[in-house]
Amino acid sequence: MKLVIVGAGGHAKVVLEVFRALGSHDVVGFIAPDMLGAQVLGLPVLGDDTLLPRLRKEGVQAALVALGNNRLRQRIGRQLQEMGYLLPAAVHPSALVSPSARIGQGVVVMARAVVGTETVLQELSILNTGAVVDHDNSIGAAAHIAPGCALAGNVVVGDRTLIGVGTAVRPGIQIGGDVIVGAGSAVVSNLEADCRVGGTPAKPLRNR
Ligand SMILES: CC(=O)SCCNC(=O)CCNC(=O)[C@H](O)C(C)(C)COP(=O)(O)OP(=O)(O)OC[C@H]1O[C@@H](n2cnc3c(N)ncnc32)[C@H](O)[C@@H]1OP(=O)(O)O
């Protein structure tokens, strides 16, 4: 099945390598503004998102939104579904995924990540390289668990929340939607929606 990757930055390159490792789709190229004609790992940037309806008509059935911005990824994902694209999940063959885990549409699970027993990754979320989400986690739509994070059991992460690289989260913690947890943090108490925290233990961050 033909697939287009929306985005052409670092995350998009890694996603292409996931599909190459899987051999599951024929990736036709990338969609990105102002990059027409550029090559990314040997595949072309085909144009900007105005091209997507035409590609769909020409037989590209699937798309993967490879954009790091969580809100934008969710918005573009919805638009692609409305255009009739399928949004397959991309799970690297080296990831360890429990047979009782559930993985939503458009989810990306990078190399060496671990998805624990009865954990749910909701649509368009990212579990990045080497991140571990243990048993009974719920990771919200378009959330991003960055490389090397470790979420213990029964953790809830809200929609569009970013858990920064290398963060640890204590068991049973609930984190609201649209939260940013800074790199290298330790989350040891629940976090309300829409906040920005960092450090060990994680505390609210000042805006500079
Ligand atoms: C493959 C991939 O690359 S996936 C990418 C995943 N992305 C990430 O993990 C990025 C996570 N981002 C961060 O940690 C960022 O530092 C942010 C978003 C928390 C803050 O970034 P900015 O808004 O640029 O904040 P800025 O650098 O100006 O710092 C503001 C204050 O917060 C502090 N701060 C920033 N990050 C952290 C952190 N991770 N932990 C503790 N304190 C922090 C700064 O020291 C500064 O404090 P001060 O005002 O007392 O000096």
- pLDDT digits over 13-59, tens only? 999 999 999 999 999 999 999 998 899 999 999 999 999 999 999 99
Centre of ligand 1 to C-alpha 183, Å, is 6
Q: Give mean pLDDT, residues 186-206.
A: 97
Q: Is any ligand 1 atom within 6 A of the Cβ of residue 113?
A: no
Residue nearest to atom 5 of ligand 1 (CA): 146
Q: Distance (Å, rounded) from C-alpha 115 to C-alpha 164?
A: 18
Q: How far is the CA of 182 from the centre of ligand 1 (A)?
A: 5
Q: What is the pLDDT of residue 111?
A: 98
Between CA 169 and CA 189 the distance in angstroms is 9
Q: Which of 205, 206, 208 gets mutated to test ligand 1 (max ligand atoms within 8 A of its CB)? A: 205
**pLDDT score of 31:** 98
167 CB near ligand 1 (under 6 Å): no
CA distances from 151 to 39, 127, 132 (A): 36, 11, 6
Instruction: Name the pLDDT band for 207 (thresholds 50, 70, 90).
Output: confident
Residue 121's pLDDT is what? Answer: 99
ipTM score for this prediction: 0.98
Q: Does residue 16's CB lie within 6 angstroms of at least one atom of ligand 1?
A: no
Q: Do residues 42 and 20 touch, judged by C-beta distance below 8 A?
A: no
pTM to 2 decimals?
Answer: 0.98
- What confidence tens digit (pLDDT) does each residue in 126-138 have? 999 999 999 999 9
Q: Which of 94, 117, 118, 114 has its CA nearest to residue 22?
A: 94
Write down the pLDDT at residue 40: 98
Helix and strand numbers, DSSP H then E, in the chain: 3, 24
Q: From ligand 1's centre to the CA of 39, what distance in Å?
A: 31
> Sign of the C-alpha dihedral, residues 187, 77, 106, 69?
negative
pLDDT higher than threshold 80 for residue 208: no
**What is the per-residue pLDDT for 206?**
82
Cα of 196 to ligand 1 centre, how many Å? 9
Which pLDDT tens digit goes with each residue over 153-193?
999 999 999 999 999 999 999 999 999 999 999 999 999 99
- Cα-to-centroid distance, 197 and ligand 1 (Å): 9
List residues bridging with 64 in a β-sheet. Answer: 5
pLDDT in tens, 60-118: 999 999 999 999 999 999 999 999 999 999 999 999 999 999 999 999 999 999 999 99
